[in-house]
């Protein structure tokens, strides 16, 4: 589906980003694997891709740093002359109550989750091919909020505002969309007990937690020509828990 395409996935050393990078590579894309601190995990992602016959390159960088982002985009462009697919997945979620949330923590979440998207889009945009696809990873909390992470919910709502605006500005040359995962079985819910996981699954109409592959499949669809008449949209991946 993506043969000959060049993709960058931010936050690709683990979780949704890792599985997304592997899925794009499996479908023929050359993938830039962005990571910030966990080089070993990123190397494992690249190795798994290469073992399946895929290709990619490691891109170290903190998306909240414009200098880091410039360096990683420059490195990618030394491998490939341009970009076709940009997946903006890097993010942090600290689960802080608002009353306990200090300004430094607020700024850090906004800097990574929202300004990070600005930094990567701003730097990569001149190199994205006509017909390219930008895909933001948002969250169901962007719609419904949360009582333990107002900073995260606000950042992910901002991501959707940025996505919709870019969809209008970049049409018809580049499509811009988002996916909004619900409860996905990643390290974000690693603290859930067996009972908590079971209770959460029972609350979901499809009676299971989501997987990183569920999200990656939607990203693959939005990255491919199968979604060539879709822009400015958000695909909700939540098993029917929140229906908009």
The catalytic residue positions are 152
Beta carbons of 69 and 123 less than 8 angstroms apart: yes
In 87-111, which positions are buried (b, 16+ CB within 10 angstroms) versus exposed (e)? bbbbbbbeebeeeeeeeeebeebbb
Residue 196's H or E segment, with its range, is: helix 194-203
Q: Tokens standing for 43?
A: 């190397």
Q: Which has the closest alpha carbon to 8: 42, 53, 52, 47?
A: 42
Asked whether the bond before 172 is cis by omega within 30 degrees of 0, the reply is yes
CA–CA gap between residue 229 and residue 8 (Å, rounded): 22
Q: Which two tokens stand for residue 41?
A: 């995990």
Secondary-structure breakdown of the chain: helix, strand, coil percentages, each rounded to the nearest 5: 50, 20, 30
Closest CA to 209 of 235, 236, 189: 189
What secondary structure letter does DSSP report for 184? Answer: B
Phi and psi at 128, nearest 5°, equal -85, 130
Helices and strands in the chain, H and E counts: 9, 7
């Amino acid at each position: 589906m993506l043969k000959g395409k060049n993709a960058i996935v931010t936050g690709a050393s683990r979780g949704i980003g890792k599985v997304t990078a592997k899925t794009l590579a499996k479908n023929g894309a050359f993938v830039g694997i962005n990571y910030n601190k966990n080089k070993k995990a990123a190397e494992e992602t690249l190795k798994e891709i290469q073992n399946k016959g895929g290709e990619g390159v490691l891109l170290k960088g903190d998306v909240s740093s414009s200098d880091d982002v410039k360096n990683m985009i420059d490195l990618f462009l030394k491998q490939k002359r341009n970009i076709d697919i940009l997946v903006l997945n890097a993010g942090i979620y600290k689960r802080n109550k608002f009353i306990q949330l200090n300004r430094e923590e607020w700024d850090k979440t906004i800097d990574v989750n929202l300004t990070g998207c600005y930094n990567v889009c701003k730097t990569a945009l001149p190199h994205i091919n006509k017909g390219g696809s930008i895909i933001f990873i948002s969250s169901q909390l962007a719609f419904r909020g949360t009582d333990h992470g107002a900073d995260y919910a606000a950042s992910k709502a901002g991501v959707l505002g940025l996505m919709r605006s870019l969809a209008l500005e970049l049409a018809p040359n580049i499509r811009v969309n988002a996916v909004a995962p619900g409860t996905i079985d990643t390290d974000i819910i690693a603290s859930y007990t067996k009972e908590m996981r079971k209770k959460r699954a029972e609350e979901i109409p499809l009676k299971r937690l989501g997987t990183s592959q569920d999200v990656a499949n939607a990203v693959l669809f939005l990255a491919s020509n199968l979604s060539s008449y879709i822009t400015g949209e958000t695909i909700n991946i939540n098993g029917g828990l929140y229906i908009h």
